[in-house]
């Protein structure tokens, strides 16, 4: 608990999204280090993003859900929700299984699975396909992985997304989630890879 609260924010957040790093590497390759706008232009799903936004807007209550299996044996369920904001933006909420966040036992050096699920909420207010802000909550309590002093917050407590190495995990989580949703809701395929 103290490891999370006392400032190891970036490693903790990267641990939350460990399953997406390999997939993004396969999809993006060397493009990862370019500016955010250049990266989003190269995401295979960008041409279909406006269609996905329209599908969400026309859904009941402008709300869609999906899920996929993760982990080495596919036993962990990741749940995705897409909905619109009051300003017309798009929200991707990813509910991760408790095992996706882990700590290291200082005595044995072994990984200790987490005991609380994690929810990552990412918003795109201007519908340009890139995240604008995000919020991460661990468990049902008020405990959250808080921003460091260098983070700028929105009035409602979300962290403003920056084009920086510290926030690449959010871009990765966003890209994987939107890729899955484009395939799932537009093509009926449960995959993050471009459909052939």
Token pair of 196, please?
Answer: 């052939």
Question: What does the pLDDT read at residue 54?
Answer: 96
Q: Within its chain, how far is the Cα of 17 from the centroid?
A: 7
Domain ranges within the chain, ordered by starting residue: 2-187
Give Cα separations from 156 to 54, 125, 159, 167 (angstroms). Answer: 26, 14, 9, 19
Walking along the chain (196 residues) 10 residues at a time, the average pLDDT comes out as 50 53 46 47 88 95 90 78 93 85 77 79 95 86 54 89 85 93 94 81
Question: What does the pLDDT read at residue 118?
Answer: 86
């Amino acid at each position: 608990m103290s490891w999370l609260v006392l400032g190891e924010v970036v490693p903790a957040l990267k641990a939350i999204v460990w399953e997406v790093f390999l997939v993004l590497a396969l999809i993006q390759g060397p493009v990862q280090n370019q500016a955010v706008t250049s990266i989003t232009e190269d995401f295979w799903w960008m041409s279909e993003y406006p269609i996905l936004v329209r599908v969400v807007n026309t859904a009941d209550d402008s709300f869609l859900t999906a899920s996929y299996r993760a982990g080495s044996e596919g036993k962990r369920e990741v749940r995705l929700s897409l909905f619109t904001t009051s300003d017309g933006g798009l929200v991707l909420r990813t509910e991760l299984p408790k095992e996706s966040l882990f700590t290291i036992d200082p005595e044995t050096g072994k990984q200790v699975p987490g005991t609380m699920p994690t929810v990552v909420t990412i918003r795109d207010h201007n519908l340009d396909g890139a995240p604008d802000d995000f919020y991460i909550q661990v468990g049902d309590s008020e405990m959250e992985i808080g921003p460091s002093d260098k983070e700028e917050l929105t009035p409602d407590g979300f962290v403003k997304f920056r084009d920086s190495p510290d926030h690449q995990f959010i871009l990765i989580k966003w890209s994987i989630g939107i890729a899955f949703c484009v395939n799932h809701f537009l093509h009926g395929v449960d995959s993050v890879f471009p459909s052939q």
